Amino acid sequence: MSFRSKRELLAQVAPRYQLATHAQKSAILDEFAAATGYVRTYVIRMLTRPPLPAPAQLRRPRAPTYGAAVQTALEQTWAAANFISARRLVPFLPTLVSVWERHGHLSLTPEVRAHLLALSPATADRLLERARKLGELRGTSTTKAGTLLKRQIPVRTFADRNEGLPGFLEADLVAHGGEHNTGSFLCTCVRTDVTTG
């Protein structure tokens, strides 16, 4: 039995089920479950609260508005803007695109240019999703959090930490070795003021 015929049967049986006595409801449930192949509890839910009738014609997803050229141009301008969020990028697209075109870094057809400048932040986020996944850093870490000595060594400072005042730092060691931590590479000790950043 097709989905559409099951829905037609449901439309005929549901009003009769809702007006039936307890004994009649049990017989209707058995018949409907046998005809459709649905589980009895699902049949009860369908007959007490029948879903909306199925549309006469199923709607298919529409064709994409923005092509690969728009996506590539957006990714290039996003990289030029230092990978800022789409919400911050979209308002500056007219300026970025005109500067890139003027200096010869970007050549767009009028149609692609119009589509690029008409993007909403949500659409830009969807188009940049592929580039974000490709650009995720997957390097290896050279440091691990120590758990053994953390509980044994009390941490004392010369003053109580007050994050509202400048002068309290957090430090981290960053390894510049790319995707591999073999061979020789540079390390940087990064110290950041908690208050001022």
Give me the DSSP letters along 44-109. HHHHHSPPPPPPSSPPPPPPPSS-HHHHHHHHHHHHHTTS--HHHHGGGHHHHHHHHHHTTS----
Q: Are residues 95 and 152 in the same domain?
A: no
User: Is there a single domain that holds both residue 27 and residue 75?
Assistant: no
Q: Is the pLDDT of residue 57 over 80?
A: no
Helix (H, G, I), strand (E, B) or coil at 190: strand
User: 0.85 exceeded by the pTM?
Assistant: no
pLDDT in tens, 139-150: 566 666 666 555
Q: How many Å apart are CA 143 and CA 183, to the nearest integer?
A: 16
186 φ, ψ (degrees, to nearest 5): -90, 150
What is the pLDDT averaged over residues 52-66? 69
Sign of the CA dihedral 150, 153, 157, 160? positive
CB 92: neighbour CB atoms within 10 A? Answer: 13
Query: Do residue 86 and residue 121 come from a single domain?
Result: yes
Q: Is residue 188 within 8 Å of 174, Cβ to Cβ?
A: yes
Average pLDDT of the residues in 183-191: 80
Q: Looking at the 3D structure of the chain, how many domains does it have? A: 3
Query: Is pLDDT above 60 for 54?
Result: no
Q: Considering the domain boundaries, does residue 19 fall inside one?
A: yes
Is there a single domain that holds both residue 106 and residue 146? no
Task: Name the domain boundary from 134, 152, 168.
Answer: 134
Whether residue 57 is contained in a domain is answered as no
Q: Same domain, yes or no, for 129 and 91?
A: yes
Q: Which domain holds residue 84?
A: 68-134
* Same domain (yes/no): 89, 145: no
Report pLDDT for 152.
64
Residues 147-161, mean pLDDT to the nearest whole number: 61
